[in-house]
Structure 1
C-alpha cells in the first residue's frame, strides 16, 4: 500500500485529465468523481484510479482534493449540501482549487473549510491542455506555508512552473490578473488585425512583422495560428470561459475601487460574442466576429499574401 496521501480530483476535463494522469504517474492513489463525459474518467480508471459518486465520499476518503471546474457557482455546489465536500471533510483535508474563480467566493469557502479543520490552497493554472498532458502547466499558488509544503510534491506532478503568490485567495486574484492581460491581448490583436485588413495589410503580414519583433509572444503566436492558418485547435479555451474570467476581473476591480477602462472594453467584446450565441468558440475566433462587425471575412483575408 502506498504511503503517499490519497488524492481526489473533481473536474477531469480538458485540463484536469492531464493533471490527474500525471498525479497517477507520480505514484499517488487517485480517486475521481465522474461527469457527463465518461471518456477521460474511463481512461483514468484504466490507469488505476478509483471512482466515487459524490464530493462527500471523496472528502471522507482523501487527504487532498483537486478541483478543476469552470466557475464559482460550480465550485460552491461541490462544497455545499448533504453530499458536498464540507459534509465529509475531516481535519487536515486540503482542497487544491485549480479553477479560475471569484476571490470573494473563494474566501467564504476558505472560512467554511477552516471550521472543519481543513484548508484551501488555490492553485489556478496557466498554459493549455497540451502542457497539462505533459505535466508542464504554470501554477500560481495561494495558501498557508504548511499547506503549501504538504501539497507541493503533488503540484510538481503536473506543474513545471510553480509561483507562490501569497495566502489563500491570492492565487485566484493573480489568475484574474493573468487572464485579464491575455484576453485584453486577444481583443487588441483582433481589433488591430481587422484594422490592418481594412487598410490593405493581410493577417499574414501582421504575423510576420509583429511576430519577429519585440512585440511577439506565445499568446500572439497561438492567436495568429488560428487567424492566419485557421487552426481551430490553436488555443482551446472557450469565449464563454474567457468572458467569465474578464467579468470576475472587472468585479474585482470594482470591489477594490480600481479604474479599469481597458478591462471594461475587453469585457464588451467577449460579451458580444456570447450574446450572439458563439460562446463555445475558442478565444482566437474572437477576431472573426470582430471582422464581421467591420464588414469583412477574416477567412478570406487570411488567404491573402
Structure 2
C-alpha cells in the first residue's frame, strides 16, 4: 500500500465508545473495513454497514493496512498488539496501529518502541467527549505521532472526530487525554458539591445550572453531565463508572509522580471516587458521585478507606 491508495482498515473493540467509532468508520471509509471483538453480541452495532468480521486478530492483521483499537486499558492494548495470536504475531502485520484507548503514557511509548522493529508504526490517539458525540462522529482526538504518521492517519480520524489535534510525539496524546479526564472528574466533584449546597440553601438545581451557565462558572461538565445526569439523578449502568475514573486517575497520578508534580486535586478526586465505589455507587455512570455528596459521606468516607 502507498499513501495515495485506499487502505484496508481494521478495528478492534466495540465498547460504549468503540462501537459508534467503528460504525462511523465502516459507513464513511470507501475501502474495506475488517472488525474483531471477542464478544459476539458487540457486532450488532455494525448492522447495516459493509464491515466484515475477521475470525481472529491474526486474520484481521493479514488483510488490514491500518488497525484502530478501542480497548479498556494498557494490558489489553499490549495483549492485542504483541500477545500470542495478536496483531503483530503473524506472517503479515499492519503497517500502522492506532490506539484510541486511554492508557499510561509509558504504555504508549513502550508499544511504539517494541512494534517499530517489527515494521509497525504506532500512534496513540485517545478520544474525549460523550457517547452521543461518538455517534455523531464529533469526538475530540488527541494524537501522539510524528508529523508524517499524523498526515497519514488524520483523514481517517476525521471519520470519528470533529477536532483532531497532534499533541506531539508518541505518548503526548495520552498526556493530554489524561489531563482532560482529570479535569472532568475534578470539575464533576466541584459541580456536585455546589448543586447540593445550592439546593440546601434554597435555590432550585435547574435554576442554579441555568444561572451559572451564563456566568464564568460555566463548563462542559455543567452543561452536559450536570444537566443530563446529575439534575435528574439518572446514572445508567453500562456507562463510564467510577471504577473507570479511578483507572484514569491512577494513570494521571503515576504520570504526576514521574514528572515531579504534587497533584493534590487529583488525589482528592481519587479519594472521592474510591468512596463512591465503597458505598455502592460502582458500576453506574460516574457523575453519581453527587449521591455521595448528598449523603454527607464525601471525603470523610474516602479517608476512612485509607486512600
Query: Structure 1 residue 158: deviation in Å?
Result: 1.0
Distance in 2 of aligned mates of 1:89 and 1:119: 16
Superposed displacement of residue 147, structure 1: 1.3
Q: Is the 8 A contact 2:13 2:70 kept in 1?
A: yes
Instruction: Look up the match of 1:99.
Output: 101
Structure 2 counterparts to residues 250-269 of structure 1, below 5 A? 250-269=253-272
Q: Tell whether the 8 Å contact from 2:20 to 2:45 is kept in structure 1 after alignment.
A: no
Query: CA–CA distance in 2 between the matches of 1:231 and 1:269?
Result: 19
Report the Cα distance in structure 1 between the residues aligned to 2:205 and 2:58, rounded to whole angstroms. 51
Residue 126 of structure 2 is aligned to residue 124 of structure 1: yes
**TM-score (ref. length: structure 2):** 0.88
The answer for the alignment partner of 2:31 in structure 1 is 28
Q: Deviations over 1:98-117 (max 9, x none)?
A: 11111111111111110111
Q: Do 2:145 and 2:168's aligned partners in 1 also have CA atoms closer than 8 Å?
A: yes
Which structure 2 residues correspond to residues 22-171 of structure 1 after superposition, within 5 A?
22-26=24-28, 27-36=30-39, 38=41, 40-44=42-46, 46-88=48-90, 90=92, 93-171=95-173
Q: Kindly provide the CA deviation profile for residues 242-288 of structure 1, in whole angstroms up to 9, marking residues without a partner as x.
A: 12111110111011111111010011111112233432111221101
CA distance in structure 2 between the aligned counterparts of 1:217 and 1:201, rounded to whole angstroms: 19
Q: 1:171 to 1:101 in 2, by over 3 A?
A: same
Q: Is the 1:90–1:117 contact (alpha carbons within 8 Å) kept by the matching residues of 2? A: no
Contact residue 128 and residue 236 of structure 1 kept, 8 A: no
Among 7, 10, 13, the residue aligned to 2:12: 10
How far apart are the structure 2 equivalents of 1:88 and 1:291?
54
Superposition RMSD on alpha carbons, in Å? 2.1
User: Quick one: structure 1 residues 60 and 277, their matched pair in 2 at CA, closer, same or farther if it must change by over 3 Å?
Assistant: farther
Give deviations 1:219-248, integer Å, cap 9, x for gaps.
212232222233446x94222211211111
Contact 1:90/1:116 (8 A) holds in 2 = no
One of 236, 240, 248 as aligned partner of 1:245:
248
SS in 1 for 2:159: helix
Distance 2:78 2:187 in 1: 30
Q: Helix, strand or coil for the counterpart of 2:34?
A: strand
Q: Secondary structure at the match of 2:151?
A: helix
- Going from structure 1 to structure 2, the CA distance change for 1:89 and 1:8 (only over 3 Å counts) comes to farther
Counterpart check, 1:209 vs 2:175: no
Residue in 2 aligned with 1:302?
none
Aligned residues of 1:203 and 1:227 also touching (Cα < 8 A): no
Residue 208 and residue 253 in structure 1: after superposition, are their counterparts in 2 closer, same or farther (change >3 A)? same
Aligned length: 291
Runs of 4+ in 1 over 4 A off after TM superposition: 89-92
Greater mean deviation of Cα atoms: 174-183 or 235-244 = 235-244
- Three-state SS of the structure 1 residue aligned to 2:191 is helix
Partner of 1:275: 278
For residue 291 of structure 1, the aligned residue among 275, 290, 294 is 294
TM-score using structure 1 length: 0.88
**In the alignment, what sits opposite 2:302?**
none
Unaligned runs of 5+ in 2: 299-307
Q: Which residue is 1:180 aligned to?
A: 182
CA contact (8 A) 1:240 1:280 kept: yes
Deviation at 1:79, TM superposition (A): 1.9
Query: Structure 2: how far apart are the matches of 1:200 and 1:43?
Result: 45
SS of 1:163's partner is: strand
